[in-house]
A and B are shown apart, each in its own frame.
Chain A
Amino acid sequence: MIDTIYKNHHFAHYAELREQEMRYRRLMLVDGVLVRNMQGSTHGFSARTYANGCYGFASGSVTEAEAGMRLVKAAEENAKLLSSKVAIAKPAFTKVAPLDVSYDMDLAITESQEHLIDFLKTLDQLIIKDCPNLAGRTVICDLLDMQKHLRTTDNVSINQIIPRHRVVVILKAKSPSGSTEELYFVESKHGRFKDNFTDPAELMPQIMECYHHLMAKLEGVRAEAGEATVILDPDLGGIVAHEAVGHTVEADLVRAGSVAGPRFGTKVASDLVSMVDFAYEAYGNKLPMPIYVDDEGTPGKDAKLITNGILTGYMHNKESALDFGHEACGNARAFEFYDEPLIRMRNTYILPGTSTLEEMIASVEDGYYLISTGNGQADSTGEFMFGVTTGYEIKNGKLGRAILDTTISGIAFEALQTVSMVGNELKITGSGMCGKKQMIPVSMGGPALKLKLTVGG
């Protein structure tokens, strides 16, 4: 459809045509009962044009070229209406070289619903066998394929499937006081479900680790509120990368006034901290959210955000890159076919250092080792927070009692300047969803970090 439209329509201005299909499976077993047994898809087309500083966008659930052409014209009419009211003289976007590529077209979901149900049931039975004294258990398969065909008037054509398949396990147990504590475990990798999740038993070592943390948490104590020295496990290091820093260096938020705006080229973190938003591979590995070409047709490149403590980069779309005089690295992404591309993170990681986790814990006289989180939020001021669901006291360099759910917060560029040790192992997760007008899958990663943060009670 897109190729037909592209050949038969005269585009007076820059335009993007995107045909997109999202296929998903959502299954959930709660205490052995299948409460969600769902599959679905959305399929549609969008056209976006840019003229005189204004975008016109139109989309619909169409598959025929004639209907698609009507949407192209609707997008052009929208841009025209805006231009008639607020035309701004702006230079044209920097052209990119023509491109015609396909990536990962063999990665579509092929598993039957029956296969996925059997997988969950087997996993559920393993949990019953090995994890006594649970008050509740939930096992979830959440599979998503994002298939896109994009063409732009720069003569870029890209076909890609990006899979994002997750298995989530939630364990609940009752404490002696009667309250319910909960922990969850998520596994997500790039690739097909059947390649990454061949045998439910392979997940049990990590589920057992989660279970043991949960049992310790039943005897947990409240963290002491106030500033503390913390060792963040690599999982949390990744959240810091995303929430504390990542959002502040998205160019649309910089333009709106984020704290990163006046700090470009200045020291925002300790010398030990470097951070990159990777496009599709790092350290020889393909990453969970590979963006070879973004939804504006910009080829993916790594965006170096912080280099040895200095703020060295923002994330851009075509328009902001032009306005700032920077290079666009392929950060413009849209979630559904009816969404316009926004500046989004991709695979955002703090780079590993040289310390072992054991050395880092041993270096803390009185503080906390914080391991896992539920979610986090960021702010234009750099103030960030995230919930901590698993953590332990550290006393005299040794792990102590488990702590109950708490929250940590800080001001990003102040907290990062207190980083005094960086772990030597990078842990990457592919299971994150970022919300910013539209949800979108992201990958986060980090090493362990030693720094000072404010801990809630």
Chain B
Amino acid sequence: MNELKQKLEYVLREIKHQGADDGSVSISQTSLTEASYEADKISMMRSVLSVDIGIKVIKDKRKGTISFNSLAEADIKNGITTALLAASSAEPDEAEGISPECLPEEFSHGPLEPDKEKLVDTLIAFTEAAKQKYPLISFEAVSTVHSVQEEVFGNTNNVRLQAHLGEYEVRMSFLAKDGERQSSFAGMGMSFADFDSPLIDNPIIDKQLMLTTKQIEVEPFAGGGTLDVVMTPGCYLNMLNMAQGVYMSDMPLIQKTSAWQDKLGEQVASSLVTWRTEPTSKTLVSWSPISGEGFVNTAQTFIEAGVLKSFALSHYGAKRTGLARATDNSSHFVIEPGKTPLATMIKEIKRGIYVDYFSAGSPNDSGLFTGVAKNCFLIENGEITKPVNEVMVATSVAEMLENIVAVSSEVENCGSSSVPYVLVRGIKVSGK
């Protein structure tokens, strides 16, 4: 960390020395250790040490940015010169700037040293246990990972922030197969503070393996209509990410194409939706304490009881639009649970589908999208009856949020977000 801090000061001095009005720099050093399982065996152990440096310079309100991965002084000098040259070709933009002065802050969180043996032992134990419990499961790949990142951020407004963050993760993709019958691919990732419990005992992982195994009985979905849709936490999380991208982020608001452009303070979703982020959380394993623009991230409420409280604007986006900057743009979503147990939610559905994720393109600017519902089950008369495929959904992100009629009391905490199940009423669904 000391070396990174010294380089930070060097970069900022050099930025001023070369004539920039303002500048900022972010330097991070990431160490990643990974054990992976592929081709039906423990396959690879990987160690990566990488350094990244990102520099932004502003001169006469013209911006240039550069990134590279060397801390050599000659490369830094060269990089700043190149960034200033790029800036000289740009047009002045009044919205360009750097974060204002603030008190220095340091963050440290999570396991900062990898335990290589534990990574391998955990991977072996999990793949063997999964074969025993779910013999129809075939893994495409499983990885156990430890990552640690040291990051420093500074700018010519005397901002000095640093973070030292570590976490363990498991990532996997798999399907179930029995002779000619097979499921779709399923995938998931979770973050942990430690691998101190067997992964096969984790209820989220176990549920996913179990449901995927049931998917080998899949048959084409026939018919269609307007149905109730139960979305898993992963599916709901994806929907919220889409909403953020299409309605709440810089470009749609700058270009005034967002359907929520004038909706701050207004109802944009069901009153059952409360959505906030927690960048440094006791609930979540993953942290993102520092933003890329040099602010300390603090908890942000985007939607409260269905009312839009904030957009997800960056510092630049806020200055371009005249709207407030989001205090956190991380993906560490903490979605408030509801009062309806999942079992009750399903019991109340005459005909609907239970969806793990949508295979779909990005929604258009209006939030409209059509997609295929994947790892999908039919719900009939209050029961999950059979797995179905070729289920096409046509809707909009806004429509889905508005039509949430129940939120589960259960949440799934995957380490980087905590999200419940939701029941969405009245979605147009079609089949073969």
Contacts and interface: CB of A to CB of B under 8 A. Distances in A.
Interface of A: 30-31, 33-44, 53-61, 63, 74-75, 78-79, 81-82, 85-86, 88, 112-114, 117-118, 135-136, 172, 179-182, 222, 225-227, 252-253, 255-257, 259, 262, 319-320, 323, 338, 340, 373-377, 379-381, 383, 385-387, 389, 404-407, 409, 411, 437, 454, 456-457
A400 to B, nearest CB: 20
B390 A411 contact: yes
A171 to B, nearest CB: 12
Given A181-B364, A262-B180, A456-B392, A55 B44 contact: yes
A405 B40 CA distance: 40
B430 A37 contact: no
A35 B372 CA distance: 34
A117 B68 contact: no
A405 B257 contact: no
B44 A385 contact: no
A53 B41 contact: yes
Interface in B317-374: 359-362, 364-366, 368-372, 374
B385 interface: no
A341 B32 CA distance: 17
Contact of A44 (B69, B120, B177): B69
B99 interface: no
A340 B44 contact: yes
B45 to A, nearest CB: 4
Interface string B55-70: 0000000011111111
Given A319-B39, A405-B361, A454-B432, 10 more contacts: A37-B90, A58-B47, A113-B64, A136-B255, A182-B364, A252-B140, A262-B180, A373-B361, A374-B362, A379-B359
Contacts of A34: 63, 90-91, 93
Given A40-B67, A113-B64, A79 B372 contact: no
A172 B257 contact: yes
B119 to A, nearest CB: 10
Nearest to B367: A179
B183 interface: yes
Nearest to A50: B44
Nearest to B37: A86
A256 B370 contact: no
A58 B46 contact: yes
Given A81-B120, A257-B177, A320-B39, A135 B255 contact: yes
Interface stretch (B16-24, B80-88, B192-200, B415-423): B80-88
Contacts of A375: 361-362
Contacts of B52: 42
Nearest to A177: B366
Interface string B171-190: 00111010010111100000
Contacts of A35: 93, 254, 316
Given A114-B89, A136-B255, A227-B432, A253 B184 contact: no
B5 interface: no
B251 interface: yes
B116 interface: yes
A57 B44 CA distance: 7
B394 interface: yes
A253 B372 CA distance: 21
Nearest to B40: A255
Contact of A82 (B45, B184, B254): B45
Contacts of B88: 114
A30 to B, nearest CB: 7
Contacts of B90: 34, 37, 117
B428 interface: yes
B389 interface: yes
B63 A37 contact: yes
B430 A457 contact: yes
B157 interface: no
Contacts of B365: 172, 179-182
A23 B54 CA distance: 14
B65 A380 contact: no
A252 B185 CA distance: 13
B392 A225 contact: yes
Contact of B66 (A38, A43, A409): A38
A407 B45 contact: no
Contacts of A256: 138-141, 173-175
Contacts of B103: none
Interface in B34-53: 35, 38-52
B240 interface: no
Contacts of B359: 377, 379, 385, 409
Contacts of A411: 390
Contacts of B256: 135
A397 B66 CA distance: 53
B124 interface: yes
Most buried by A among B124, B180, B370: B370
Top 7 A-B residue pairs of the complex, sorted by shortest distance between their CB atoms:
A387-B361, A456-B370, A78-B45, A256-B140, A457-B394, A40-B67, A225-B430
B129 to A, nearest CB: 15
A41 B362 CA distance: 28
B180 A81 contact: no
A180 B180 contact: no
Most buried by A among B54, B69, B82: B69
A81 B32 CA distance: 16
A383 B389 contact: yes
Given A81-B120, A457-B394, A39 B66 contact: yes
Contact of A42 (B69, B117, B257): B69
Contacts of A338: 32, 48, 50
Contact of A385 (B82, B360, B428): B360
22 contacts: A37-B65, A39-B83, A40-B68, A44-B50, A60-B48, A60-B49, A75-B47, A113-B82, A117-B90, A136-B255, A225-B430, A252-B140, A256-B138, A379-B359, A380-B140, A381-B182, A385-B359, A387-B369, A389-B364, A406-B394, A454-B392, A456-B393
